[in-house]
Each structure stands twice: as structure tokens, then as C-alpha cells.
């Protein structure tokens, strides 16, 4: 399908100066949200992540079992939304979380570079789903975006979306730190939505520049504009470098200010994190906790 022409139906990206001003305003607004209740919600929105070269069945099992134990250890705090792992560990996590409401998120499609054959991406995604993934995070082809091959990048997402089935949640990582400019970040977000994603996600966490408030503002504005034209709500996920409660609350406030409180559910807002979980939990309970 030709997607690039649809970009012309939307206003251009805000300037870098406009984005900076918006971020400064929202940083001030975020101060009102720095409280235990907001931190509890941010904790419940986490895709608890382990994406390391030294992951193993044993380490991932321990990781998942620890997350499941949270239901018993902290029954007054909503647990994380999902556990995010490489595709080969989907079945391992499935065994550990069986009988709980926790979802299983798999990165796939040649994560983190997405530089492999489309057929390989589609096969990896389908195998992750077959093994029990509820959600799949893929990477938009950054090389194609940087060279202006917008239709090719979006059509890859469309093909993968079709391979998954509509019941699986798709999150498309635009790797905002590589795209850099508000223009490309906005285009990547819109193209991903045109092609059927359920979430637009900032980053893989595998390059130097991960999530930034500036990218989040541009992405959330694109989500808002797409919703106003289509009536379809697409979620936002901040990932990569989200470590402190202040980081999490800032992204929460960006969503609140641009998209509204109706987006502040775990169906439409996620945080990809590992260290942030301990730090949010410490803020919630009022003392230092190293749970994970």
C-alpha cells in the first residue's frame, strides 16, 4: 500500500523550539504528579524487561517467578503489566506466569536492528505468537526511514501485523534517537499507525540515545492527530533510559497533557524498564527496595 501520500493529510511536525517549550511546560506540570498514586500506576504500566546476551532459561525463569511473587508480597500494589523477553523465552515465561493476569511481551522481527529479511521477521513474530506471546514489539526499519523509503518501511509493518493476527498487541519501536528530528519522528509514528500498530514505542534501549521527553512530545502529538482523524486510539510506550520515578512521572504527564487522562490506562500507556521497577517501588513503600 502507498502510505507516504497519507502523510500529506497531516500538519507538519512542530519545530525543535516548539518541542523544547512544550517539554519545559510539562516538566513544571509533572511536579503535581510526583506522588505515590501516580508511581503506583506507573509501576503497573511497566513491561518488565530483560533483554541481555546472557539471558538463559534459568535466569529468565527466576526473573518471571520473582515478578509473579509480587502478587503475594505486595497485594496492595498493582503488579507490572507484562514481562518482555526475547522470542526464545516466551514459552519459559508462559510457564512461570500461568494462572496470573500478567501478559507476555516478546521483542521480535530482527530486534534490535531489524536488518534481516522480511520473511525472517515474519517467521520470528509468528513463532513468538505461537509460543504464547500476547504482545510483540518490533522495530521500524530505521535505514529505510532515513533514506525516505517510507512506503517500504510501513509496508513491512503491515505485513508483520497481518502475520500476527488482530488479537495480539503490536508495538512498533521507531528508534527515535536514530531518527533525531521532529519531522522524522512524527513521520515514523504516523506511518506505524497507518500500518496498524497498537502502540508507538520510543526506543530499543540498544543505541546511545534512547527515550527522550522531546521525542515523546512529538510522538504523542502524532497519536493525538491520528486519533482526531480516525477515531482509533493508539498507545504510547517509553522505553530505554527510563530509570527514576521522576522519569516515569514525566512520561505519564506528557501523555496526560497531550492525550488526556483517557490514555492513562495500561491498554494505552506502557513503560519499558527494569531498574525503574525497583526505584518506583522504593518510592511507593517509602524505603529502599531491591526486589528485582
What are the residue numbers of the active site? 137, 201, 237
* Spatial CA neighbour of 107 closest among 126, 130, 127, 125: 125
Instruction: Retrieve residue 59's grid coordinates.
Output: 535466569
- Can you tell me the distance from the alpha carbon of 133 to that of 91, in angstroms, rounded to the nearest whole number? 8
Please give the full DSSP string across 141-193, using - where no structure is assigned: -HHHHHTT-HHHHHHHHHHHHHHH-TTSEEEEE--HHHH-SHHHHHHHHHHHH
User: Which position has the grid cell 512506503?
Assistant: 151
- Can you tell me the distance from the alpha carbon of 133 to that of 17, in angstroms, rounded to the nearest whole number? 40
Taking CA atoms, 132 is separated from 66, 90, 125, 204, in Å, by 20, 6, 11, 22
* Side-chain-side CA neighbours of residue 180 (13 Å): 4
Amino acid at each position: 500500500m502507498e502510505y507516504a501520500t497519507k502523510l500529506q493529510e497531516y500538519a507538519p511536525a512542530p519545530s525543535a523550539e516548539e518541542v523544547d517549550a512544550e517539554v519545559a511546560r510539562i516538566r513544571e506540570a509533572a511536579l503535581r504528579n510526583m506522588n505515590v498514586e501516580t508511581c503506583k500506576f506507573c509501576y503497573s504500566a511497566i513491561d518488565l524487561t530483560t533483554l541481555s546476551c546472557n539471558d538463559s532459561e534459568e535466569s529468565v525463569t527466576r526473573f518471571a517467578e520473582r515478578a509473579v511473587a509480587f502478587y503475594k508480597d505486595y497485594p496492595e500494589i498493582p503488579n507490572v503489566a507484562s514481562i518482555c523477553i526475547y522470542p526464545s523465552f516466551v514459552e519459559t515465561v508462559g510457564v512461570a506466569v500461568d494462572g496470573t493476569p500478567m501478559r507476555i511481551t516478546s521483542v521480535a522481527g530482527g530486534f534490535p536492528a531489524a536488518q534481516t529479511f522480511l520473511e525472517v521477521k515474519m517467521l520470528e513474530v509468528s513463532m513468538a505468537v505461537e509460543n504464547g506471546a500476547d504482545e510483540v514489539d518490533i522495530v521500524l526499519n530505521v535505514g529505510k526511514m532515513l533514506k525516505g523509503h517510507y512506503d517500504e518501511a510501513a509496508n513491512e509493518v503491515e505485513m508483520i501485523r497481518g502475520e500476527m493476527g488482530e488479537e495480539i498487541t503490536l508495538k512498533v519501536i521507531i528508534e527515535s534517537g536514530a531518527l533525531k528530528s521532529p519531522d522524522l519522528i512524527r513521520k515514523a509514528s504516523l506511518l506505524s499507525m497507518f500500518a496498524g500498530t497498537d502502540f508507538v514505542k520510543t526506543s530499543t534501549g540498544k543505541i546511545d540515545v534512547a527515550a527522550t521527553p522531546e521525542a515523546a512530545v512529538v510522538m504523542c502529538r502524532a497519536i493525538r492527530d491520528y486519533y482526531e482523524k480516525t477515531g482509533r486510539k493508539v498507545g504510547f510506550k517509553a522505553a530505554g533510559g527510563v530509570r527514576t520515578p521522576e522519569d516515569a512521572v514525566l512520561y505519564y504527564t506528557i501523555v496526560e497533557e497531550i492525550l488526556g487522562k483517557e490514555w492513562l490506562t495500561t491498554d494505552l500507556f506502557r513503560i519499558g524498564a527494569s531498574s525503574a521497577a525497583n526505584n518506583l517501588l522504593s518510592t511507593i513503600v517509602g524505603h529502599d527496595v531491591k526486589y528485582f
